[in-house]
Structure formats: C-alpha cells, structure tokens
Amino acid sequence: MNFSNHKKSRKKSTTSGTIVPNTNLVTARVGMFYGLEYRKSLTNKVSTVSGLVATPNIVFNDSETSAFFDFSDWKNVSSTENDFLNFWKNVPLGSSFTVSNAELYNEKNSKKYDLSGIYTLNELENLIVFCTVNSVTNKDSDMNLYSKKHFRQTPIFQFNFTPTSDNDSSHTFIVNHFGQNTKTSFTYLGASIGDHLLIQGEESSYEIENINLDSEGKEIIKIKGSLPEENRIGTKTLVQLKIKIPPNSVTDDIDINDSKIGSCLIGNACYNNQSESQCKLRQIKNVSLKFTENNECVNISPLTGPPKEVTYVEPSSDEVMARLLNDISKNLSSNSKSGKIF
C-alpha cells in the first residue's frame, strides 16, 4: 500500500503545515472492512424473504397467459406501500422472476394448487404487478382468482438478472456484503459520490461514481477504475476514505481516529456519518457549515463543488498503520470472545 511519508505538523500558523500534493486528496477516515467483493458486473438477486412479507391475491387472465399479483388488499398490514415500492423498483420491466412457496388449499372445494412458476414483469400500478405467465406448477383452468387467505405460507419472489449497462471494464463494483448498518460499511465512513478510496494492496485511489443498496441491503460502490475480480468476504481490508480539496491548500491537523460522528450541514444540504474534521474538509467557499454530533440528516442532498481552502493535514503513514493495528487488535479480541474466526 502506498502512503505518503511525512511528519504531521503541529504548527497553527497559516504559513506552516503540509502542502497537499498535486493529487489534492486528504485522508479523512480509515476503516477496517470484512465482507468486500470486487466485481466487474452485477447479478442482482431480489427476494421477499428479506423485505416484502405480504401475500397477494392472484388473478389469471387471457387464457392463463397473463396474471395479476394484487398487493393492494387493505388488510395487508405486514408490509407498507413503501416496502412494496422499495422491493419492486429494483426489478427492470421485461425481466423474468420466479415464484416459489406458493402452495394453496381451497377449503370450499378441498383442492390443492401450486402457483409456483416463472413470470415476466410487464407493469406496476397501484400496488398491482402485471405479468406474463411463462410456466406455473399446478392451477385449475376453470379458476381465475386465488385468494391470499388460501396460501399456506408467504410466496417468495426472486429475480436474477445482470444489467448489461453494468458490465463496463473502466469501472469496478465493490460489494459490501455486510450492508450499511455496521461500522464496517462505507455508509458509516460517511462516503459520498466524488470521494476517493485507497484500498489495501492498491497503489492508487479510486473515485466513487455511485453508491447504492441492492434489494438485500448490500452496499454497492461503483468506482472509476479497474480492479481484478476478488472475493474478500472473509479477509480484512483496510480502506482509506479521501476527500478532494483545492490545489496547494495549506492544511492543519486532522484526526482520522475521531469517534465523534454526526451530521454535516453545508448550506441547505447535509451529509450523514461525518467526523467534525471530515465535515470541514467538505466546506464550500462562502457557504455556511455546521457539524452536529450524534445527529442525522432528515433529507440528504449533498452539495457539490470545490471546498473552501481550510487547513487540514494528511495523516502520516505511522498514524494510518497505528489505526490499522488498533482495529485488528479490537477485532481479534472480539472474535476470540465470540468464538468467531475469519
């Protein structure tokens, strides 16, 4: 790993400190990650097991070649409309999906049915899924409506697809299988589009082009640049989050170990999970800035633009390695107590 090798200045005058190199990138936070995987393309697996738990009424039409999955039943209290939209918005129109666990028993006629099969998504409207029937396990040709109350269990909807637009050799997808709600996440580091990542084992940093969550809650970080595909789910990976500042900015001390995390309000825009010094690195000239510890933004809409020439120092390699050793020590201690070994 390539770190800058210089001493951290303790002087406070505007003429002292460390001149940031031509890269204009300053390390703001450092994290020790498990669960990372580098991919050239994505296969997005979607399943209601981890989200949507409502059961639809199902109606077949057009000589059983089309079907409607109706989630609009007002008695569906297990999942909200937002749950429905958050699930189905990840599925491209025209893609096939598999339904399983869809066995029914109709007490009126004492018959069993199984609507498990393969369907194609055509349209979403008013909590109703319009689809084409590709195959279905067992249904009654004389029966069109199958009530939600007859399902033995909640049906499982699963999609597997690879968007062709995601297969780009000039980009890499970093998948964080641990998701966003852990301290080993890019969300916790306060990463934002336009920031850079210096990843263990790499000589150069990579700019973040996009940040998303897939339907299972995994973080998907799209970076500019090519990394070899690699599964590092069980391997520790040190990641530095770098923020770009103006050329030749004179910088003062920055604390990459600052454990006080909060919101960073810049004008009317806000960043979550920022340290105070990380917040100041994002400052934009002539725009007000406010850091609030233990606070979260209500609506996140980060401003973009060159930050004001504030004074922060790029941490030395000794500081970064000290943070790494400290994190390893904590992880080893925690794993030994829990009996987990990575």
pLDDT band at 331; cut points 50, 70, 90? low
Q: In terms of domains, do 333 and 277 share one?
A: yes
Q: In terms of domains, do 169 and 23 share one?
A: yes
Distance of CA 100 to the CA centre of its chain: 27
Q: Which residue has the higher pLDDT, 294 or 304?
A: 294
> From residue 340, how far is each of 7, 33, 216, 237 by CA, in Å?
38, 16, 24, 17
Query: Mean pLDDT across the chain, nearest whole number?
Result: 77
The region of weakest confidence among 87-91, 114-118, 301-305, 315-319 is 301-305
- Per the domain annotation, does 4 fall within a domain? no
What is residue 117's predicted lDDT score, i.e. its pLDDT?
Answer: 93
> From residue 75, how far is each of 52, 78, 80, 103, 134 by CA, in Å?
15, 9, 11, 20, 29
pLDDT digits (tens, 9 = 90+) for 100-117: 889 999 888 899 999 999
Q: In terms of domains, do 186 and 204 share one?
A: yes
Among residues 159, 179, 210, the one where a domain terminates is: 159
Q: In terms of domains, do 194 and 329 share one?
A: yes
- Per the domain annotation, does 87 fall within a domain? yes
Q: In terms of domains, do 74 and 22 share one?
A: no
Q: In terms of domains, do 36 and 102 share one?
A: no
Q: In terms of domains, do 174 and 61 share one?
A: no
pLDDT digits (tens, 9 = 90+) for 4-21: 333 333 333 222 334 344
Asked if 248 and 20 touch (Cβ cutoff 8 Å), the reply is yes
Report the domain count for the chain: 2
Q: In terms of domains, do 210 and 298 share one?
A: yes
- Per the domain annotation, does 309 fall within a domain? yes
The region of weakest confidence among 183-197, 244-258, 271-285 is 244-258
What is residue 197's predicted lDDT score, i.e. its pLDDT?
Answer: 96
- Per the domain annotation, does 320 fall within a domain? yes
Among residues 99, 125, 159, the one where a domain terminates is: 159
Q: Which residue has the higher pLDDT, 9 or 321?
A: 321
Q: Supply the DSSP string of 215-247, one letter for each residue.
A: TTS-EEEEEES----EEETTS-EEEEEEEE--T
- Per the domain annotation, does 80 fall within a domain? yes
Q: Which residue has the higher pLDDT, 318 or 20?
A: 318
- Per the domain annotation, does 8 fall within a domain? no
Q: In terms of domains, do 286 and 170 share one?
A: yes
- Per the domain annotation, does 2 fall within a domain? no
pLDDT digits (tens, 9 = 90+) for 53-88: 678 899 999 888 999 999 887 565 555 677 777 677
Q: What is the pTM of this model?
A: 0.53
Q: In terms of domains, do 123 and 196 share one?
A: no
Q: Which residue has the higher pLDDT, 53 or 98?
A: 98
Segments forming the whole domain that contains residue 86: 46-159
Determine the Cα–Cα distance for residues 131 and 73; give it in Å rounded to an integer.
Answer: 18
pLDDT digits (tens, 9 = 90+) for 27-55: 999 999 999 999 988 765 544 433 456 78
What is residue 176's predicted lDDT score, i.e. its pLDDT?
Answer: 95
- Per the domain annotation, does 3 fall within a domain? no
Among residues 141, 159, 177, the one where a domain terminates is: 159
What is residue 253's predicted lDDT score, i.e. its pLDDT?
Answer: 67
pLDDT band at 307; cut points 50, 70, 90? very low
Cα separation of the two ends of the chain: 22
- What are the backbone dihedrals phi and psi of residue 318, each rounded to the nearest 5 degrees, phi first? -65, -40
Q: In terms of domains, do 142 and 250 share one?
A: no
Determine the Cα–Cα distance for residues 159 and 48; give it in Å rounded to an integer.
Answer: 10
Q: In terms of domains, do 255 and 193 share one?
A: yes
